[in-house]
Structure 1
C-alpha cells in the first residue's frame, strides 16, 4: 500500500508539473523528493511499534517487565499483530516473575519458622534454660519433620516446574492400596480422635505409580483430617465410574465446607485453607497442588464437588494407564 500510494502521488505530481509547462529537469527531482518524503513519513509510523519493542526489550533485559508497546492498538497489520504478541509475552513474563518472587518469599517464610523454633529450643538447652526432656526432644523432632516435609514438597515442586516425572507403572488392588495409605495417617492422628471410615469395594485392580498415587491420597486425606474438628468423621468412599474405565474416590470431612469461589484457588501453590474452629492451621500450602499434579500425571483429576455432608474432594483416575502423558516417562517392571 505504501509503495502504491507513493508511486501514484509521484506519477500524478510529475504529470501535473509537466502539464503546466515545468521542465523535466525540475519536475522530476521535485517529484522524487516529495515521494521520498511521503515514504519516510509513512514508514516512521509503520516502524514505530518496532522501535517501541526495541526499547521495551531493552528495559525487560534489565528486569522491568511492566513495559508495554502502546502502538499495538493502532494497527491491524503484521506489525500490529507482532506488537500485541509482544505485549502478551511481556504480561506472561511479568506474571512468571511475580510468581517467582512470591515463591521465594513463601519458601523463605516456611523455612524460617521451623528453623527459628529449632534454634531457640537448642539454644535454651545449650544454655541450661530448659532440660532435654522427652517432650522437648519430641518438639525438636516435630520441627525437623516439618523441615523434611517442606524439602520433599519443594523437590516435587521442582519436578512440576520442570514438567517431567518418571512413573513406574504396575497393577495393584485399589482397596489394599487405600488401607496401606490410611494406616500411617490413623497412627499420626491418634491424638485427634477422628473417625476415618472407608467404603472401598474389594476386587478393583488399577494400574499406576503407587508412590505418586500415595502422595496424592496422603495429601488429600491429611488435608481433610487437618481441617476437621477433633472427634469428627472423615469418609473415604470409592466406586467405578459410569464407563467402568475409571475409579472415582470421594474424601469427605463432615461439617466443614469450602466456598465456591475458593475451590479453584486451594489447588494453587502456597495457598493455605483457612482453619475452622477446632481444626489445625499451618502447613506448606503445597499439598493440594502436588496432589493435583500427581493425578494429572496419571490422566486423572481432582475437584471439589457440592456435598451437603461437608467438603468433598472427588478424585477421578483411569483404571488402566494406557498412554504416555506429556512430560512423563512411563516404566513398566
Structure 2
C-alpha cells in the first residue's frame, strides 16, 4: 500500500493539504505575485495602524518588517511543502522504497501540484517495474528449477543404477532439455523486446502456407490432448514480413489457444483481407471459453499467466503473448482479444506491406506511452 512521504515530525496528509492556501491557481508565478501583493498590503496596513496609535517610524518599521516576513515565511512554507516531500520521497526511492507518494488536495492546480502528480505517476511506474523485476526473478527461478531438478534426479538415478538408460528415460531427459531450451529462447526474445528493436528480413509470404507450416509442429506436440486445429485461409492471401517473426507470432498465439482449450476440442485459425485490402486479419478462436474485458490487456503483459478452467492446462513462462504482441508491433500490426460469441478470439492485424523502420519506432513509442504498464 502506498504511503505518504513526510519528514520526522512533519504533519500528516490532511494537515499538509490544509497548509497550501493558494494552491488553487494554475500558475506558481501568479501565486507568488499574489503573495507579494498581500504582503505589501499587510505591511502598509500595519504601518498605518501603528502610526494611528502614535508609534514613531523607527519602532513601527521593524515591527512591520517582522510581521510581514513571518506572514510571507509561513505562507510560502505551506505553498512549497510538496517540494520537501518530493525530496524526502526521492531519497526514500533511492533506498529502494517505491511505495512513497505525494498526496495533495484536488485544488492544487499549479506547477507544484502538477509536479507532485507527475511524481506520483512516476512512483507508480517504478513500483510496478520493481514488482515486475521481483516477479521475473521468481518466475524464471521457478521455471528453471523445475526442469533442472527433474534432470538432476534422472541423471543421478541413472548414475546410481536405480534406473536404466532406456529409450523412455532418455526421452524424458530430452523433453526436459527442450523445456530449458524453450525458456532460454523466451528470455533471449525478451532481451530483444527490452532493446526495442530487431532486424527484419522482409519477404513476400503466402499466409495459407505460413499458417499450415506453423500448425503442423503444434499438432504433433499436442499429442495426447486430442485437440484439432481447423484452418480457413484463402490460398491467394499474401503478406510481406519476416517469416521467422511471423511464425513466432502465430506459434505463440495458437499454442496459447491449445493450452487453454479442454481436451478433445477444436481451435479455429481463419484469415481474410482487411476492409481496404491493405491489411491481413488472422483470427485464432478457442471455442467455449472467455476472457473478461477488464483483463484482456493484462494477459499481454510479461510474466502474466492466464488462469485455466477445469480440464485445461496451465503453466508456462507467461512470456508467449507478450512476445507475440512484440512480433506484431515489429511489422506495424496489432494483437488483441475481440468479442466473439464462439469463444476467445485473438485477432492479429498485419499490414500487407510493413512501414519503414523509422515509422515503426515512432508508432511503437506512441503505443507504449498510451499503454504505460497497461501492458504491454
TM-score normalised to the size of structure 1? 0.90
User: Any idea what the Cα deviations from partners look like across 1:248-267, whole Å, max 9, x if unmatched?
Assistant: 11222444444555433332
Alignment match, 2:276: 243
User: Any idea what the Cα deviations from partners look like across 1:252-301, whole Å, max 9, x if unmatched?
Assistant: 24444445554333323223334455543322221122112211222222
User: Any idea what the Cα deviations from partners look like across 1:288-329, whole Å, max 9, x if unmatched?
Assistant: 221122112222222233444443322211111134311799
Are 2:236 and 1:203 aligned?
A: yes
Alignment of 1:284-299 (within 5 A): 284-299=317-332
1:65 is paired with a residue whose SS is coil
Q: Is the 8 A contact 1:72 1:81 kept in 2?
A: no
Displacement over 6 Å in runs of 4+:
none
Alignment match, 2:157: 124
Shift of 1:237: 1.5
Shift of 1:68: 1.8
> Which one of 349, 361, 373 corresponds to residue 326 of structure 1?
361
Shift of 1:120: 0.9
Structure 2 vs 1, CA of residues 48 and 175 (structure 1 numbering), >3 Å: closer, same or farther?
A: same
5+ residue gaps, structure 2: 1-33, 365-376
Structure 2 vs 1, CA of residues 3 and 118 (structure 1 numbering), >3 Å: closer, same or farther?
A: same
TM-score normalised to the size of structure 2? 0.80
Q: Is the 8 A contact 1:240 1:247 kept in 2?
A: yes
Are 2:138 and 1:105 aligned?
A: yes
Shift of 1:87: 1.8
Shift of 1:216: 0.5
Greater shift, 75-84 or 150-159, is seen at 75-84
Alignment match, 1:40: 73
5+ residue gaps, structure 1: none
Shift of 1:5: 1.1
Q: In 1, Cα distance between the equivalents of 2:58 and 2:178? A: 92
Q: In 1, Cα distance between the equivalents of 2:225 and 2:323? A: 25
Alignment match, 1:183: 216
> Which one of 19, 37, 42 corresponds to residue 9 of structure 1?
42
Structure 2 vs 1, CA of residues 306 and 79 (structure 1 numbering), >3 Å: closer, same or farther?
A: closer
Give the paired residue count: 329
Q: In 2, Cα distance between the equivalents of 1:26 and 1:276? A: 84
Greater shift, 256-265 or 108-117, is seen at 256-265
